[in-house]
Amino acid sequence: MKKIITEADVVANYKSAGKILSVGKDDIITPLAKDKIKDLGITVIKKTESENIQLSSLPTVLPPAKKNTVVLGGDHTGFAIKTLLAKLLVEKGYNVQDVGTYDESSCDYPDFAYAAAKKIKSGEAEFGILIDATGIPSAITANKIKGIRAATCYNEFSAKSAREHNNANVLVIGAKSLGEETIKSIVETWLSTDFAGGRHQRRLDKITEIENRNL
């Protein structure tokens, strides 16, 4: 079924989902909406016909959105990579929440690391991905929030280990430290790896005990 995407729809989507607008294969975007999309720097993702069918056949009672939601955040050095990852995640079927920054103007990484970490803590998103120049300062910031386990990863092995052994819930990437293909591979490894539990849970319990005593 065709849907008319208006300027108001674009603005409402921008406020709730950031710079990603997902539309149906046959949806019609009005001229005013196109202008607003250009002004806001929004990336339009068109769903395929099969994706539309899958979405329309979902049960009435959906699981919590957090189970399929990733929050993205980063400073000006991570803006380009954040935009690339947002598109990749939407294509893979994830709901994306973008807490900024929304352009390459100089800004402060703690603002966005904190905003993303708060969404994880509140249950609004299952995972977070933060991007700055090295992947270090945003991890330091996010880990100040109780319940956050942010891991700076620099290859597939560190990403797999962070999820499998440490049950990390925030992935942090250095945009100036790694190439685009490596970053995409790290993200895909992260998202496809589950926590192993067992002896690793015992060690996490000790971390939680330390956290509870000091935060």
Catalytic positions are: 165
| CA-closest candidate to residue 102, choices 76, 125, 128, 127 | 76
Give one word for 136, left, alpha or beta, with left for phi > 0 and alpha for psi -120 to 50: alpha
* The amino acid at 115: A
Beta pairing partners, 21 = 44
Q: Tell me if 61 sits within 8 A of 78, measured CB to CB.
A: no
Residues 167 and 175 sit within 8 Å (Cβ to Cβ): no
65 CB-near residues (< 8 Å, 6+ apart): 95, 124
The DSSP line for 126-189 is: SEEEEEESSSSHHHHHHTTSTT--EEE--SHHHHHHHHHTT--SEEEEETTTS-HHHHHHHHHH
Query: CA 150 to CA 168: how far, in whole Å?
Result: 6
Cα-based angle 171, 107, 177 (whole degrees, multiple of 5) = 45
